[in-house]
A and B are shown apart, each in its own frame.
Chain A
Amino acid sequence: MDTFGLLIDGFLVATTGYNLLFCLIGVTIGMVVGVMPGIGPVAGTALLIPITYTLEATTAIIMLSGIFYGCMYGGTITSVLINVPGESASVITCIDGHEMAKQGRAGAALGVAAIGSFIGGTIAILALVFVGPPIARFALKFGPPEYFSLMVFGLLMLNALVGKSLAKGVLATCLGMFLATVGQEPISGVIRFSFGFSELISGIDFVVIAMGLFGISEILGSLGKDSVVQIKEKITSFMPERHEIKDSLLAILRGTGVGLFLGLIPGASAVISSIISYSIEKKVAKDPSRFGKGAIEGIAGPETANNAHAGAAMIPLFTLGIPSSATVALLLGAFIMHGLTPGPALFEKNPQFVWGVIASMFIGNGILLFFNLPMANFWAKLILIPYKMLYPFILIITMIGAYSISNSFWSVGMMLIFGALGYLFKKLEIPLAAITLSFVLGTQIELTLLQSLASSSNGAMIFFTRPISAAIMMLSATVVVVSVVSRIRKAKYIIESEDD
């Protein structure tokens, strides 16, 4: 069957009443998570994964991915109206978005952001539709050495892009992989690091780690920071002025390109996409001095970029089973939890699932466009809910989620430990995304490494003698060299600045 036929089948799956309902629930929760400062997309997704235990795989992933891309839309509203970004990718929108709101043009800012987000998100999903299957077919040629090289490349990219310290990045990555070794070894079944606890024989559940590191730690970090919020800006017309339409459209197209490209790169978060898009817009503008004073391209570009990024991040997930960010790593974990093996075979073995989820993203983007234009005032009011009322509710949801993993309080206790660790790690600037990502990939990395070495007569040379694996390893080596050199240069600059 051709791509269009499969996509139509996907729409038939996505438009069943149950799947439509959970798509709506997913994007609604995503909007709420995006609007509320203090709960990012990672924490939001982590907290809600346990709710999907009883759902079918397709329905569960439709809902969880709805949360992921819904967040990107939600964060814009508070950035524009009250200068508080609901999630980190919308930080850059505050600069010109809130300025426009102060000039009485909040509606135009939100309108352009919503339309840009819709276009960026839709084009990214179209890219997944048309680029995904060929990549997946190509990836079917991959053996364990290629997969190992690819995962190592992903983790190295993540280390190169996140965090300030290389040592901390490596420590975080190794910790994540080490946590994944707890329990049964993937080939021989030997039980490792269980220390006599029967609960550790099956390993540590990734939901426990994700909810602790991101959910609990985020709440602990936000305690005592409750502030009273007032919405002063009113929303009137959503249409930009005529002369702004062309500028906005070009910015939307550029933002789509930036988000699409960076979404494919592991470690390049949506924040990076929006920041790069903003700087490109400023550079190509005829009058850059308008930026910071309410330039509409300063909203159109970044908002489009972060939504295109969210869609593009699904391409490596669906085709290779490689997550590019912490939130996508959670989705990967959810795939595994629901008995699916992400990767190239997914397109062949579970076409109904893959195309159902892809089709739901088109529907979800349409719902979000409706949510963001006529309903923007309603979402803005959510921020008026005091955090001191909200966090006990979030905490109890996390405890329910953790309890439901093993029907015991062992998981809840473990989640609290990871919550405390996550809080300290954040303060110590240890990248939590690296821990989650390497934990999710840990078992596969070990498995492919052991399989590769077992089948090799030249030991580790197997990674350099097979062409695809060797090419990826070369790329990985380049990433390491560039990362180390740039950090040494940065350190030298800091030392010289201090000497001056």
Chain B
Amino acid sequence: MITKFNSQTWLGVIWLFGSLFFLQEALEYSYFVDDKPGAGFFPIWLCSIMAFFSVVQIIQSFKASNGKTAIIPKGEQRKSIAIVFGAMILFILLAPYLGFTIACTLFMGGLFYYNGYRLHYSLGAGLVVAILLFSLFYSFLGVAFPVNDFGW
């Protein structure tokens, strides 16, 4: 189990590595051009400050004594987060091919079904929401939507 104590230290370590990585990238850009600050000036300072405070964070995490709270959710909440995230990724993968209306029906219907509603009710409600959103945003407000070959 990841505890708060460990997670605070890891936060500092990951942030430190991230800062150093981006600092190395920032050094690729010029710090001064014709005696004026260049494209690298600001990010070099930012990454250096982040690296410094990451070390401060690591030191502080060692001093912290109350670190036993888990940050990774457990049980039902972990399952729910995984399913919701999975559903969103599936929507992203399917919508370009199936179009918004079908992908949204499956997304909404799937989540309603997971939340304990009957399958036919879930899919029906999903379809109604999909048609309503499509009509409101795409047809009425002109917001861009992913559509299939049939235009929906």
Any B CB within 8 A of the CB of A413: yes
Least CB separation from B38: chain A residue? A188
Known contacts A224-B77, A400-B137: does B43 contact A192 (CB below 8 Å)? yes
Q: Which residues of B contact A430 (CB under 8 A)?
A: 11
Q: How far is the CB of A388 from chain B (nearest CB, A)?
A: 4
Complex CA–CA separation, A190 to B26 (angstroms)? 12
Known contacts A409-B146, A428-B7: does B29 contact A178 (CB below 8 Å)? no
Give how many A residues have a beta carbon under 8 Å from the other chain's beta carbons: 53
Least CB separation from B92: chain A residue? A409
Q: From the candidates A171, A177, A399, A420, name the one contacting B57 in the complex (CB within 8 A).
A: A171
Q: Which residues of A contact B92 (CB under 8 A)?
A: 399, 409, 412-413, 416
A165-182 Cβ-contact flags toward B at 8 Å (1 or 0): 101101100110110010
Any A CB within 8 A of the CB of B124: no
Least CB separation from B91: chain A residue? A399
Q: How far is the CB of A273 from chain B (nearest CB, A)?
A: 29
Q: Kindly identify, within residues 72 to 113 of chain B, every residue whose CB is under 8 Å from any CB belonging to chain A.
A: 73, 75-77, 79-81, 84-85, 88-89, 91-92, 95-96, 104, 107-108, 111-112
Q: Which residues of A contact B50 (CB under 8 A)?
A: 171, 174-175, 178
- Residues of B at the A interface (CB closer than 8 Å) are 7-8, 11, 15, 22, 25-26, 29, 33, 36-39, 41-43, 46-47, 49-50, 53-54, 56-57, 60, 65, 71, 73, 75-77, 79-81, 84-85, 88-89, 91-92, 95-96, 104, 107-108, 111-112, 115-116, 129, 133, 137, 141-146
Asked whether, in the complex, the Cβ of A392 is within 8 Å of the Cβ of B142, the reply is no
Asked whether, in the complex, the Cβ of B143 is within 8 Å of the Cβ of A400, the reply is yes
Any B CB within 8 A of the CB of A407: yes
A-B contact pairs, 9 of them (CB 8 A): A51-B141, A53-B143, A181-B43, A181-B46, A190-B39, A220-B85, A224-B73, A389-B115, A400-B137
Any B CB within 8 A of the CB of A21: no
Asked whether, in the complex, the Cβ of A178 is within 8 Å of the Cβ of B81, the reply is no
Least CB separation from B100: chain A residue? A400
Q: Which residues of A contact B85 (CB under 8 A)?
A: 220, 416, 420
With A51-B143, A399-B92, A416-B89 already in contact, 9 other A-B pairs whose C-beta atoms are closer than 8 Å: A170-B53, A188-B39, A219-B84, A396-B133, A413-B92, A427-B7, A446-B42, A454-B36, A454-B37
Q: Which residues of B contact A51 (CB under 8 A)?
A: 137, 141, 143
Q: From the candidates A165, A219, A395, A412, name the one contacting B60 in the complex (CB within 8 A).
A: A165
Q: How far is the CB of B23 from chain A (nearest CB, A)?
A: 10
Q: Which residues of A contact B71 (CB under 8 A)?
A: 424, 427-428
A-B pairs, 7 with minimum CB distance:
A224-B77, A190-B39, A388-B115, A392-B111, A223-B80, A427-B71, A185-B39
Q: From the candidates B7, B80, B111, B144, name the one contacting A224 in the complex (CB within 8 A).
A: B80
Asked whether, in the complex, the Cβ of A395 is within 8 Å of the Cβ of B46, the reply is no
Q: How far is the CB of B90 from chain A (nearest CB, A)?
A: 12
Q: From the candidates B38, B39, B107, name the one contacting A392 in the complex (CB within 8 A).
A: B107
